[in-house]
Structure 1
Amino acid sequence: MFSFPFCIFLAICSLYCQQQVHAAKILAIAMPPHSHVAESNAVAVELMKRGHQVKFYLPDDLDTSKCAPDIPSIRYGQNTMYHAIKILDKIMELASEGRNSRFRFMQAARKAVCTQLVNDTTGLSKLRQENFDFAIVDYLYFIKCYLLIPYNLSIPFAGISSVIMPLDDGQPISTSVSPSVMTLYTPNMAYHERVINTVTHIMTNIATYYFLEAYDYSKIAPGLSWRELQELSKKAEIYLENSDVVLGYPKLLMQNLIQVGGLTVKPPKPLPKNIQKFFDEAKHGVIIVSFGSTFKFNDNLKNIFMSVFQKLKQKIFWKADEEKEIGNVLMTKWLPQNDALAHPNTKLIIYHCGNNGMFESLYHGVPLICVPQEVDQFTNSRKLEYLKIGRFFDIADLTEELLQECILDVLGDPKYTSNIKHLSEIYQSRPETAAERAASAIEHVIKYGGKHLRLDQVDLSTFQLLAVDVWFTIFVLLIVFMKIIIFIFVFCKRFVQSKIKIKQN
């Protein structure tokens, strides 16, 4: 007979082997910005913990040492990041002056990230040799070229994004309470705002389909039409939305969309000794300043910020493109943002309102001042003001007086800190982390597929999702009905008048 410990050993081995048999080989395709790679990396790490194999498909010259250090990768392009940065630098220079338009940014961003991807058939050949089972695809409603990779490989995929358009994933559109990403409305919309919001929903879809400049992707998807490329987003088995009802607006959700806001959030690690000392010695607290890796500070902006900061009693920890210390301001090229936010002396973060930093601030209960630059940063900024966890302003309106007034208001009014700490408690009360929810959802659709999670009506157009065709039919029927009533009334009136005339004669 086998001993009890030996039986336990056999059971463990059996479970391990079973896990290996069912382990999937997963391809993660992320956009080049570090924040995007970090989101996908969080899901990849969790999947690898569960026994799956994961590889990234990334630009050849993207440094992943900080955003995805432990996941192997296959590279594409030639000096991809160099070309992309040249294109985006010009756009971000305009953004820093408040002269950038969202459609201009969309067009430039798409050109920057898609050109190298769709022309590299060598990288695609390497992917084919790997025989992947599934893909996790970084997706934006105006950048869909990454969907061409699972299409070419003929494998199912999940989409991951901070902004997912209802037309792409078949979610119901309720324009009376769900603001468009292109507006700064909240769910509390007046009549004229609901009208504008509905029109904006329609026009955004039309514009991204037809008015953004197309590009040649025939090398990796010969024969696929432009419209068919736009429709690929509807083929996703599931969508992972880097959002959360705690840090946003309630909305209707179908089962094929899982909210996984806060993928990069994690318990803090110890700060480096010099930074720890800086924070520990801040008697009046520390203000963190970070505008990500793409925003460009011109001299005028830098002077405004520096002038205001030197009037404050708090210390300023500023992620910049130089290393120096001026009075109460420490400028550094590297910022362990999640860890710094966790320090008890951190009182405020001044930020561009990217999604990851918003959730890190939420997790650690630190109020924000936001200066949005692109895409979802504008709607994120409006959300924080709606939730009363911070302030925001347009970069074009920036003055010393405005910046100082916002800082003093957020630091001086306890409602901002109280509100975000309350939301932080709700967020942290969840039984699963965002990465665990994402990994569980992916495992589910790998095993069972995602058809049972989606409506059959996923292919409905914007007009159909908004029931424009239904209301138009009702309107036409009402017109016809009214005309029939008027016709009957006129007929009866004439008939009665003719009878009266006959009697009178």
Structure 2
Amino acid sequence: MHHITWTALVLSVTLSMSSGGKVLVFPADGSHWVNMKVIIEELHSRGHNITVVRPSDSWYIKEESPHYTSITIPSAGGFDEEFFGSFVKRLLQIRKEQKFWSRMMFELELIRQFSEMHRQMCEMLTIMFQDEALMKSLTDAKFDVVLTDPGMGNGVFLARRLGLPLVFNVRWTVHGEAHYAIAPSPLSYVPYPRTELTDKMTFSQRLQNVLAWTVGSIQWPMMVSSHYTAFCKRFFGPDVDYFSLFQDADIWLMRNDFTFDFPRPTMPNVVYMSGFQCKPAKPLPADLEEFVQSSGEHGVIVMSLGTLFGELPSDTTENIAAAFAQLPQKVIWRHEGAKPSTLGNNTLLVGWMPQNDLLGHPKTKVFVAHGGTNGVQEAIYHGVPIVGLPLILDQPDNLFKMEARGTAKVVDFCTLDRAVFKEALEEVLYEPSYKENMQRLSRIHHDQPMKPLDRAVFWIEFVMRNGGAPHLRTQSFRMSWIAYYSIDVILTLLMALLLILLIMFLAIKKCLSVLFKKKVKSE
């Protein structure tokens, strides 16, 4: 049945060809899809034909869209909404108990779950690669480029199989933070993710950074190596290292920049597009605008914990609601689950909110956020300071960077109660430096010659026009670590130096011996 669907889809793409190019997109689900969709819509508006490959159990990626044609693979591979819901509740419970072994077991479970997700990705690709009709239709469609998120491996392997140029919409690869895959990353001043360190480290912090990098270098491949190595061996031969296919991508559209991150070495094919999903605020719906205006001079607090984690444990929501109720500000809270009994008249619960438009409203004073990249960048774009409630993954690290710049106050879920939360809110509301520092970051972000989304689309189109960007790709990853760090050269020079010193020593010894003999004879 699905053979017919795929053939029809590819035919529809072929028939709808315009003067634009043809882009094959293999996205990751969840919040990663939220920002990939922005690029897809922009490419579509510029006349390009987009085809999106998605698993049949996809959570966020819809089969029908006016902006793209979809190819649905009858396979698991999407994000599991129920899993993430129970996952965050369990994590918060473990963090509150503060038991070391419980946390260790949870970390191992996390590794197992992500490993399973990558295994499903390989199964999905296997289904595709074994379907000769599908692969022929993809080849015949003559796509110009593959656009993918390398947090999953699917798009990388599909680009290799089809022999197409490869562009990343990237913050993370299957091995961790993207810079570590291709750019020099000196651990003396480049903090490893989740260490919550800055680029100014003491000796003990540098030691901590090296240890964290060592653990991460073992942990990340542990989740993916067995699956992708077996897949590569089966379809590309034993000599292909799966991660070298990631490192060989033409362009890395990086979802951060040095307004958000600390300065560090980079590469010619890394293009920074931090905040590309942000837009000027549009007018709010009438009922929401009326609620916002009713806040008067006190203004509004906006709270959202992102796409993956909507419902918190009841005791946590009770404390948050109670703290909000004690403030003169109005609150708009994206909330799922039971209504807290401590909810005040000043707080509006919503299932969905126009977050970008609310953050851009002049009456918005504070953004209560979990620290996902998208939300933090929207806060920077609109100059709104943050009260952070980090949950998992990169969220603590993102919020730490904001706290280090004086633009956020972070609250630990382990110690969160109504008094602690209220104190954090009041600090950010009434200490002017938070707003001033965030508005300074916002001015820096806006002060650039080209909008980030335009820059991203330019480089995608550049790759389409030129059939790739090999002149920008470093070949350092093809070198052994001995050659990369010039260990062989250093050892050769040291040996040459030792040889010269030995020759000099022997020459001096010989001269002294001759002189000594002459002296003895003359006496």
**TM class by shorter-chain length?**
0.7 to 0.9
The 5 Å alignment of 1:386-465 reads: 386-448=404-466, 449-460=468-479
Aligned residue in 2 for 1:147: 156
Aligned residue in 2 for 1:158: 167
Of the three residues 316, 321, 343, the one matched with 2:336 is 321
Matched residues in 1 for 2:497 and 2:90: separation? 50
Matched residues in 2 for 1:377 and 1:333: separation? 22
Q: In the alignment, is the contact (CA less than 8 A) between 2:28 and 2:149 conserved in 1? A: yes
Report the 3-state secondary structure (helix = DSSP H, G, I; strand = E; otherwise coil) of the residue aligned with 1:222: helix
Report the 3-state secondary structure (helix = DSSP H, G, I; strand = E; otherwise coil) of the residue aligned with 1:112: helix
Could you report, residue by residue, the CA deviation over 1:203-241 in whole angstroms, capped at 9, with x for unpaired residues?
A: 422332246573376499535569722322112111011
Could you report, residue by residue, the CA deviation over 1:311-370 in whole angstroms, capped at 9, with x for unpaired residues?
A: 111122111114867422211111111011111111111111111111111111100111
Matched residues in 1 for 2:380 and 2:28: separation? 24
Of the three residues 383, 391, 406, the one matched with 2:401 is 383
Mean alpha-carbon deviation: is it higher for 128-137 or for 417-426? 128-137
Shift of residue 157 of structure 1?
A: 0.9
Aligned residue in 2 for 1:3: none
Mean alpha-carbon deviation: is it higher for 230-239 or for 20-29? 20-29
Cα gap change, 1:230/1:386 in structure 2, threshold over 3 Å: closer, same or farther? same
Cα gap change, 1:121/1:455 in structure 2, threshold over 3 Å: closer, same or farther? closer
Unaligned runs of 5+ in 2: 1-16, 96-102, 514-523
Aligned residue in 2 for 1:129: 137
Matched residues in 2 for 1:461 and 1:264: separation? 38
Report the 3-state secondary structure (helix = DSSP H, G, I; strand = E; otherwise coil) of the residue aligned with 2:271: strand
Matched residues in 2 for 1:49 and 1:330: separation? 35
Q: What residue identity is the alignment partner of 1:242?
A: R
Cα gap change, 1:152/1:303 in structure 2, threshold over 3 Å: closer, same or farther? same
Matched residues in 2 for 1:428 and 1:371: separation? 26
Unaligned runs of 5+ in 1: 1-19, 496-505
Of the three residues 108, 113, 128, the one matched with 1:108 is 113
Of the three residues 81, 90, 94, the one matched with 1:85 is 81
Cα gap change, 1:205/1:434 in structure 2, threshold over 3 Å: closer, same or farther? same
Identity across the alignment (%): 24
Q: What residue identity is the alignment partner of 1:302?
A: T
Report the 3-state secondary structure (helix = DSSP H, G, I; strand = E; otherwise coil) of the residue aligned with 2:424: helix
Q: What residue identity is the alignment partner of 1:92?
A: V
Cα gap change, 1:120/1:166 in structure 2, threshold over 3 Å: closer, same or farther? closer
Matched residues in 2 for 1:327 and 1:109: separation? 41
Cα gap change, 1:417/1:69 in structure 2, threshold over 3 Å: closer, same or farther? farther
Matched residues in 2 for 1:183 and 1:471: separation? 34
TM-score (norm 2): 0.79
Mean alpha-carbon deviation: is it higher for 443-452 or for 64-73? 64-73
Q: What residue identity is the alignment partner of 1:290?
A: S
Cα gap change, 1:412/1:167 in structure 2, threshold over 3 Å: closer, same or farther? closer
Aligned residue in 1 for 2:521: none
Of the three residues 12, 18, 25, the one matched with 1:28 is 25
Shift of residue 256 of structure 1?
A: 0.7
Cα gap change, 1:326/1:477 in structure 2, threshold over 3 Å: closer, same or farther? farther
Find out whether 1:347 has 2:365 as its counterpart: yes
Q: What residue identity is the alignment partner of 1:201?
A: W
Aligned residue in 2 for 1:500: none
Of the three residues 23, 42, 46, the one matched with 2:42 is 46
Matched residues in 2 for 1:305 and 1:60: separation? 37
Shift of residue 415 of structure 1?
A: 0.7
Find out whether 1:289 has 2:303 as its counterpart: yes
Could you say which structure has the greater relative contact order, defined with CA pairs below 8 angstroms and 6 or more residues apart? 1
Cα gap change, 1:156/1:426 in structure 2, threshold over 3 Å: closer, same or farther? same
Q: In the alignment, is the contact (CA less than 8 A) between 1:77 and 1:116 conserved in 2? A: no
Aligned residue in 1 for 2:274: 261
Shift of residue 151 of structure 1?
A: 2.5
Matched residues in 2 for 1:128 and 1:93: separation? 45
Find out whether 1:198 has 2:210 as its counterpart: yes
Cα gap change, 1:270/1:392 in structure 2, threshold over 3 Å: closer, same or farther? same
Find out whether 1:337 has 2:355 as its counterpart: yes
Report the 3-state secondary structure (helix = DSSP H, G, I; strand = E; otherwise coil) of the residue aligned with 2:289: helix
TM-score (norm 1): 0.81
Matched residues in 2 for 1:355 and 1:176: separation? 25
Q: In the alignment, is the contact (CA less than 8 A) between 1:88 and 1:109 conserved in 2? A: no
Q: In the alignment, is the contact (CA less than 8 A) between 1:167 and 1:461 conserved in 2? A: no
Aligned residue in 2 for 1:372: 390
Matched residues in 1 for 2:63 and 2:346: separation? 28
Aligned residue in 2 for 1:94: 90
